[in-house]
Structure 1
Amino acid sequence: MTDRLGPIPFDSMTPAQQAAAQTVIDGPRGALYGPFVPLIRSPELMLAAQQMGEYLRYRSAIGTRLSELAILVTARHWNQQVEWAIHAPIAAQEGIAQHVIDAIAARRVPEGLRPDEQAVYDFCSELQRDKGVADATYAAALHLFGEHGVTDLMGLNGYYTFLAMVMNAARSAVPPSMAAPLPE
C-alpha cells in the first residue's frame, strides 16, 4: 500500500507547517515521524495532538510502563503497525515482559501480568472491544490509579485510537523496528 500522506520536505512546508514541525522536533520526540507526518497537513491539529500526546506518553499519572501497555492494546485493536513498531520496543524497555507483548500481538490474553498491568490490560481491552468498561474493571483501575490515573488511562485509549485512525487512513509507512510486525 502506498503512503497517502508521506513526508513533506521541510523547505516545501508552509510557514505554519514549518513552525509546527519545529515544535515537535524541538520536543522530547526529537523528530517529525509516525502520526505527525500526515498530521502536518493540519498544523494546528497536529500541535494540539502532539501536546496531548507529549503529556500522555511522557508524564501520565499511571507512568510510562503502564502507558506503553495501554498503547500496545490500542495498537493491536486497530491493527496499527506504526504504533506497534514504535511502542513495542519501548514497552519492553520500560519493563513489559516480552511474553506479554507477544500475547497481545497474537490476540491472546497475556498470562502472568502484575496486578497493575492486569488492571490496565482489562480496562483497555474492554474499552476498545466493548466501547465501555464494566463496573468491576473500572473499580479495579480506580483502586490502583485513582481518578487522575483512570482519566489518563481513558485519554491514552482515545489519543492512540485517534492516531491509529489517522495512520490507517493515511496508510502511513511503517518505520524500521526491533519489533516483529503485527500478524493479520
Structure 2
Amino acid sequence: MRERLGPIPFEQLAPQQQAVAQAIIDGPRGALYGPFVPLLRSPELMESAQRMGEYLRYRSAIGTRLSEIAILVTAREWDQQVEWAIHAPIAERSGIEAGIVAAIAQRRKSPAMLVDEALVYDFCVELHRNKRVSDVTYANALALFGEKGVVDLMGINGYYTFLAMVMNAAQTAAPVSTAAPLPE
C-alpha cells in the first residue's frame, strides 16, 4: 500500500505549514509523525487537532493509563496500525499489562483488567460498535470518572477516530515499533 500523503521536506513547506510543524516539534510530541504528516496539508485543521490531542493525550481527566486503553480500542476498531504502533508501547509503559494489550489486539476483553480498565474498555467498545453507550455502562463511568471524565473519554474516542480516518484514507505508513502489528 503506497502512502498517499507522505512527508514533505521542511524547506518546501509554506510559512503557515512550517509554523504549525515547528509547534508540534517543539511540543511534548517532539517530532512531526503519524497523523500530522497528512494533516500538514491543512495547517489550520492540524493546529486545532494538535491542541485537542495534546489535552486528551497528556492531561485528560481519566489519566494517561486509562486514556491509552481508549486509544488502543479505537486503533483496533479502526484497524489503525500507526496508532497501534505508537500507543501499544506507551500503554505498557503507562502500566497496562502486555496481556491486556494483546487481548485488545484480538478484540477481546482481558480478565486481567482492573475494574477501571474494564469499564473504559466496555465504554469504548460499546461506543464504537453500537454507536452509543448503554445506561449501565454510562452510569458506571459517571460514578467512577464524573462528568468531566466521561466527556474526556468520549473525546478521546472521537479524536483518535478522527486520526484513524485521516491515516486510513491517507494510507499513512506505520512507524517501526516494539509492538506487533494488529492482526488482520
Do these two structures clear the TM 0.5 threshold for a shared fold by scoring above it? yes
Detail structure 1 runs of 4+ shifted over 6 Å in the superposition.
none
Q: How does 1:8-87 map to 2 (within 5 A)?
A: 8-87=8-87
Amino acid at match of 1:142: L
Match in the other structure for 2:146: 146
2:5–2:38 CA contact under 8 A, matched in 1: yes
Structure 1 vs Structure 2 CA RMSD: 0.5
The answer on whether the counterparts of 2:35 and 2:163 sit within 8 Å (CA) in structure 1 is yes
Map Cα deviations across residues 116-170 of structure 1 (whole Å, 9 max, x no partner). Answer: 1011000000000000000000001001000000000000000000000000000
1:18-60 CA-to-partner distances (Å, cap 9, x unmatched) read 0010110110000000000000000000000000000000000
User: 1:110: how far off?
Assistant: 1.4
> What is the total number of aligned residue pairs between the two structures?
184
Structure 2, gaps ≥5 residues long: none
1:87-108: per-residue Cα shift (whole Å, max 9, x none)?
A: 0000000001111100010112
- Where does residue 2 of structure 2 map in the other structure? 2
Following superposition, the deviation at residue 112 of structure 1 comes to 1.8
The match for 1:89 is 89
Distance in 2 (CA, whole Å) between partners of 1:159 and 1:69 is 14
Q: TM-score, normalised by structure 1?
A: 0.99
Amino acid at match of 1:89: P
The one-letter code matched in structure 2 to 1:35 is P
TM superposition shift of 1:109: 2.0
Identity, % of aligned pairs? Answer: 72
In 1, Cα distance between equivalents of 2:100 and 2:85: 16
C-alpha distance in 2 between matches for 1:78 and 1:110:
19
Q: Secondary structure at the match of 1:110?
A: coil
Q: TM-score, normalised by structure 2?
A: 0.99
Name the SS for the 2:142 alignment partner: helix
